[in-house]
Structure 1
Amino acid sequence: MRLSTCILPVHRWHEGGRERWTRAEELGFHAAYTYDHLSWRVPFRDGPWFGAVPTLTAAAGVTSRLRLGTLVTSPNFRHPVTLAKELLTLDDVSGGRVTLGVGAGGTGFDATALGQEPWTPRERADRFAEFVTLLDQLLTGDATTYRGTYYSALEVRNIPGCVQRPRLPFAVAATGPRGLRLTARYGQAWVTTGDPKVVSAPDATPQASLAAVERQVARLGEACAEEGRDPADLHRIMLVGFTPDPLLDSVDAFVDFAGRHAEAGIDEVVLHWPIPGTRFEADPDVFARIATEAPAQL
């Protein structure tokens, strides 16, 4: 079981931002991720919120071991051609420590920020499929020409390519059949936050949430079978903080949570870095103890 963290980009770099990334490496986390949004939900909507790629580039310069990545990037305001160039550069600056978390995106603040009309669920899924397909081509080839329904590339050069070969890994966030097949086809990892329908229920319980994750893992295995992929080849990541589990109450509570989810097939748990006054509030001392003590118990 790997233990990672997610640091929201809500602090100025020289006013606490840098320290969180260097501290994440000191605590021994496997990876540190950040959200890739223009802004995100109350109470963050009207406060500081910085760009994901510049933040990760700065983090790459002050760390040496920590893997870095997004959880997640979406087509809401990204184009594969420009994103691929930024990712290739970030992979180079970090010495090959980047993972791209990628998802279809939601209907939140990013969805219409560029002036577009909200996409239907079908269009969002169609765009996501093209987005991932083109990104894969751009990051694995020296020159790419592609003409799709939503995205195109004309003789786009990405030389010398990624440090990581054949390209940096994709961690695909998906729960539906199409997204899971896309994960099986292009992903090196799969990402879940649990089942939103289950955890949003008024009577949601940790047991029901765990059972839902087990079902998701089973459906991922079925998608891999359809694509001729060994599911053991896929890393399975859970970004926590959205299920009814009191996992940050103590080290023992976290070890119990992580152990049960490891049995369900999860092999990396990502904890949000504590932010007072939000849903991600947690005792900083307990958080640090989980980072340093829990891995040995798992």
Structure 2
Amino acid sequence: MRISTVILPVHRWPTAQEHWRRAEELGLHAAYTFDHLAFRSFRSGPWLGAVPTLAAAAAVTSRIRLGTLVASPNFRHPVTLAQELMSLDDISGGRVTAGIGAGGEGYDTTILGQRPWTPRERADRFDEFVPLLDRLLTRPATTSRGTHYAAVEAPMIPGCVQRPRMPFTIAATGPRGLALAARYGQGWVTFGDRRQAAGQSGDAAAAAVRDQVTRLGEACAALGRDPGDLEKVLMTGFTKDPWQASVDAFVDLAGRYSCLGITEIVLPRPVPGTMFDGSEAAFEKIVTEGRGQLAD
């Protein structure tokens, strides 16, 4: 079981850089950040860009993997995102994981002046977004014209450090998204039942993940792919489960989700006074001692 974290981009860099360094010192597998223009209750406070933050994080670390969790079509275009991801992969020496999703409701959906897309429209766009991003990152030049996205002789030189490209971790719960994860993903990420979000109980979240893992396996089987080839990532902090209450609580929950097929647990670094409230000392104790217990 791998243990990773999300570091929210809410601090100026003199403070934030210590959080990224510390994540590496703690031996975490990866440190991600949210890719939003604004996010929930953080909208009225500091919120910095994901790509510059990850580039800076790459410069102050040397081993830990880095990535978005997740970038989406809400305000991203495959061509510009591909170039930024290629650049991050170069700066980090091949340590980037591209977490991508269809996007949801919220500020990102209207901040550029567009009307909110329906779930069907988001799925339609994601169906184009992921294959085009894959093509862009695996070819020196790409021309493609779709319903929603186009690329005209878009160059991607020198290409990714990781070959043929950096891994994709695809957020998906519905059949179309799971099919994309099965075809293009090296990983898949969920936080449980998307319809219930933070209101879901632990049992409801586990039941949702169990069902999603089953359907992901079916999507892989339809392509002749071994579902064991995909990392299965759980983003915590969106359910009522006490993930950071104690080391024992964490180990019990991680063991429960390991039995469901989850291979990586992502714990948000605490941001006091927010939806990710908590103790930094408790967080560090959990990720160090908890990892040791899970390895036994």
Q: TM-score, normalised by structure 1?
A: 0.96
**CA–CA distance in 1 between the matches of 2:214 and 2:193?**
13
Amino acid of the structure 2 residue aligned with 1:9: P
Aligned residues: 294
**Which residue number in structure 2 is paired with residue 208 of structure 1?**
204
Partner residue, 1:182:
180
Please point out which of 149, 152, 164 is paired with 1:151: 149
Residue type at the aligned position of 2:179 = R
- For 2:204 and 2:269, the matched residues in 1 are separated by 25
Q: Letter of the aligned partner of 2:85 in structure 1?
A: L
C-alpha spacing 1:48/1:200, structure 2 compared with 1 (3 Å): closer
Query: What's the counterpart of residue 21 of structure 1?
Result: 20
Shift of 1:207: 2.5
C-alpha displacement of 1:285: 1.5
Identical aligned pairs, as a percentage?
66
Q: Distance in 2 between matches of 1:106 and 1:208?
A: 20
Q: In the aligned structure 2, how far is the partner of 1:295 from the partner of 1:97?
A: 21
Name 2:10's counterpart in structure 1: 10
Q: Secondary structure at the match of 2:67?
A: strand
Partner Cα distance (2:242, 2:86) in 1: 38
1: distance between equivalents of 2:27 and 2:5? 10
Q: Does 1:38 align with 2:34?
A: no
Instruction: Report how far residue 205 of structure 1 moved.
Output: 3.3
Instruction: Report if aligned partners of 1:199, 1:209 keep a CA contact under 8 Å in 2.
Output: no
- The alignment partner of 1:223 has SS state of helix
Distance in 2 between residues matched to 1:225 and 1:205, nearest whole Å: 30
For the aligned residue pairs, the C-alpha RMSD in angstroms reads 1.1
- CA drift at 1:197: 3.4
Q: Cα distance, 1:211 vs. partner?
A: 1.9
What is the identity, as a one-letter code, of the residue corresponding to 1:4? S
- Structure 2 unmatched ranges of 5 or more: none
Q: Deviations along 1:111-145, whole A, 9 cap, x unmatched?
A: 11221122122111010111111100000001100
Match of 1:93 among 88, 91, 96: 91
Per-residue deviation, 1:209? 2.1
Question: How far apart in 1 are the matches of 2:238 and 2:216?
Answer: 20
Distance 2:202 2:108 in 1: 30
Please state whether the residue corresponding to 1:76 is helix, strand or coil.
coil
Moved over 4 A (4+): 198-201
Return the match for 1:243 from 239, 242, 262. 239
Contact 2:9 2:49 in 1 (8 A): yes
Letter in 1 for 2:22: R
Matches of 2:277 and 2:206, distance apart in 1: 22
Mapping for residues 212-291 of structure 1, pairs under 5 Å: 212-291=208-287
Contact 2:109 2:116 (C-alpha < 8 Å) held by counterparts: yes
Secondary structure of 2:234 counterpart: strand
Separation in structure 2 between the aligned mates of residue 210 and residue 104 of structure 1, nearest angstrom: 22
Structure 1: give runs of 5+ residues left out of the alignment.
none
Q: Distance in 2 between matches of 1:271 and 1:229?
A: 29
